[in-house]
Structure 1
Amino acid sequence: MKQIPNRLAVVLIAALACTVTHARDAHPTEVYLSASQVNTVLAMLPPPSAPGSAEDQADRATTDRAFAQRSSADFDAAEQEEKFDAFAFASVVGPGFQADKLPHVAALFKEAEHETKEAVDTSKNHWRRVRPCPPASACAMNPEHASKKSFGYPSGHSSRATVDAILLTQLFPQDGDALMQHARDIGWRRVVKGVHTLQDIYAGRMFGQALASAMLTSPAMQHDLAAAAAELRAAGLTGDAHSTP
């Protein structure tokens, strides 16, 4: 895929700056990302394949095959993950990892996921990539409902799962590999469900990695990670928790 030409990148950053700054003004709580950081991440994402190109068609054909060959277990998991948050990773870190028992952890991830969604929605609405629609999928059976869905690039599930996994690794470093694999699985199951392509979920991984890296430079994030780590230690859920540098 081609990189954004310099002139287009400048125009894109200027346009996105207005959108993100407005969103920040409407969301006055202490945030982890500045508008300039978000704009930098938005501009680094390469464009998806041109609609109707051979590459685009091949990408969508992969989703068609994955949907047609889906296992009931993967499809059921995808259905359950339609709405998820960081506590969906309890299968990796342990059953005691529950939002109602960990208010500091819950608050941290609620803010991180909110900021991730804002950035994803801005990017989706810029690229406006139409989602795939495999034969016999929910999209094909109910096109009117499908038309109300958000655009596909980058995948929001893949982006948020990647952010969650990277931040959770700060708290559960011993589980880092398993956390990242769980995030990849969440993204892949969006392909199995027929609602995203491989390009969409790979873009989500790239987007999520960049967003999480930027978040970790935030003093507010470091403060909240320290509070979350202390809460986890008190709950006996980790013996190798994050410490503020």
Structure 2
Amino acid sequence: MKKMTHNPFLALLLVAGSACAAPAVAGTAYLSQAQLDQVMAALPAPSAPGSAEDQADRAATDRAFAARSQADFSQAEQEEKFDAFAFAPVIGKGFRADKLPHVAALFKEAEHETKEAVDQSKDHWKRLRPCPPASACAMNPEQAAKKSFGYPSGHSSRATVDAILLAQLFPQDADALMQHAHEIGWRRVVKGVHTLQDIYAGREFGQALATDMLASPAFQHDLAAAREELRAAGLAPVPSHAP
């Protein structure tokens, strides 16, 4: 298992440059179950329920929810469902799923595998979500009980994976892409559905998943097709990392 890093882009771009270039069959999964198991095993346990640390973590969500701006809350509502094309404000308006089927297929697979790993981890840790006063959870506890567990945050994990993989196609936007991913995660706290600990765990989790994806021949095969599609679409040309 590769060591997780809080400063991923330089290291991950180097990984992409040295990744195996052997042919791969399109549609092949990027990660094996063994790799998913390794990533999940490396995620540290959340705070013990009811501990002082756990209570402080939940209190921070209560404060963020109480101080929310309408703009941030509305954006969080819009991001309830999102994919890599939600990063178009960073990349440009030409970055659209209907115009880029190879790019869309690559991120659909990456996001699917990320969700599987997140769901397994949530079911393992079974950390309850926060429930700030006057939030949707507090107003409708029966509906809230149907939600998945909170650790790690799926939005934070997926946004991190998307940002790191998008940086392979748009390296000039790497910092802005990661900042956008952080904002997606933060707005889950503003919405009152995750704690900061959930969000930070999602960042660690997403970084580890993306690292292993970048080393996958199947991913590199699909990434090459995505690069060519972007060039043909007239978006900013991206140099190949192939030797």
Q: Is the 1:64–1:134 contact (alpha carbons within 8 Å) kept by the matching residues of 2?
A: yes
2:135 match: 137
2:92 match: 94
Inter-partner Cα distance in structure 1 for 2:117 and 2:49: 23
The alignment partner of 1:49 has SS state of coil
TM-score by length of 2: 0.88
1:236 corresponds to which letter in structure 2? G
1:36 match: 34
> Are 2:231 and 1:233 aligned?
yes
TM-score by length of 1: 0.87
The counterpart of 2:179, out of the listed 160, 178, 181, is 181
Inter-partner Cα distance in structure 2 for 1:242 and 1:106: 19
Inter-partner Cα distance in structure 2 for 1:196 and 1:162: 16
- What is the Cα deviation at residue 243 of structure 1? 3.3
Where relative contact order (Cα < 8 A, 6+ residues apart) is larger, the structure is 2
The alignment partner of 1:152 has SS state of coil
Identical residues among aligned pairs (%): 80
Deviation string 1:10-53 (CA, Å, 9 cap, x unpaired) is: xxxxxxxxxxxxxxxxxxx5100011111110000000000000
- What is the Cα deviation at residue 241 of structure 1? 4.1
Inter-partner Cα distance in structure 1 for 2:52 and 2:226: 47
The counterpart of 1:85, out of the listed 68, 83, 86, is 83
Q: Is the 1:120–1:156 contact (alpha carbons within 8 Å) kept by the matching residues of 2?
A: yes
Deviation string 1:143-201 (CA, Å, 9 cap, x unpaired) is: 00000000000000000000000000000000000000000000000000000000000
Unaligned runs of 5+ in 1: 1-28
Q: Is the 1:226–1:243 contact (alpha carbons within 8 Å) kept by the matching residues of 2?
A: no
Deviation string 1:92-123 (CA, Å, 9 cap, x unpaired) is: 00001000100000000000000000000000
Q: Is the 1:59–1:198 contact (alpha carbons within 8 Å) kept by the matching residues of 2?
A: yes
Q: How does 1:84-233 map to 2 (within 5 A)?
A: 84-233=82-231
- What is the Cα deviation at residue 135 of structure 1? 0.2
Inter-partner Cα distance in structure 1 for 2:165 and 2:134: 37
Inter-partner Cα distance in structure 2 for 1:82 and 1:201: 15
The count of corresponding residues between Structure 1 and Structure 2 is 217
Inter-partner Cα distance in structure 2 for 1:97 and 1:155: 26
How large is the Cα RMSD of the aligned pairs? 0.8
Inter-partner Cα distance in structure 1 for 2:74 and 2:116: 27
Unaligned runs of 5+ in 2: 1-26
Inter-partner Cα distance in structure 2 for 1:239 and 1:86: 19
Inter-partner Cα distance in structure 1 for 2:112 and 2:235: 25
1:72 match: 70
Inter-partner Cα distance in structure 1 for 2:217 and 2:78: 34
Inter-partner Cα distance in structure 2 for 1:116 and 1:237: 27
2:180 corresponds to which letter in structure 1? H
Inter-partner Cα distance in structure 2 for 1:47 and 1:167: 26
The alignment partner of 2:124 has SS state of helix
Inter-partner Cα distance in structure 2 for 1:35 and 1:242: 29
Inter-partner Cα distance in structure 2 for 1:123 and 1:228: 30
The alignment partner of 1:196 has SS state of coil
2:49 corresponds to which letter in structure 1? P
1:105 corresponds to which letter in structure 2? V
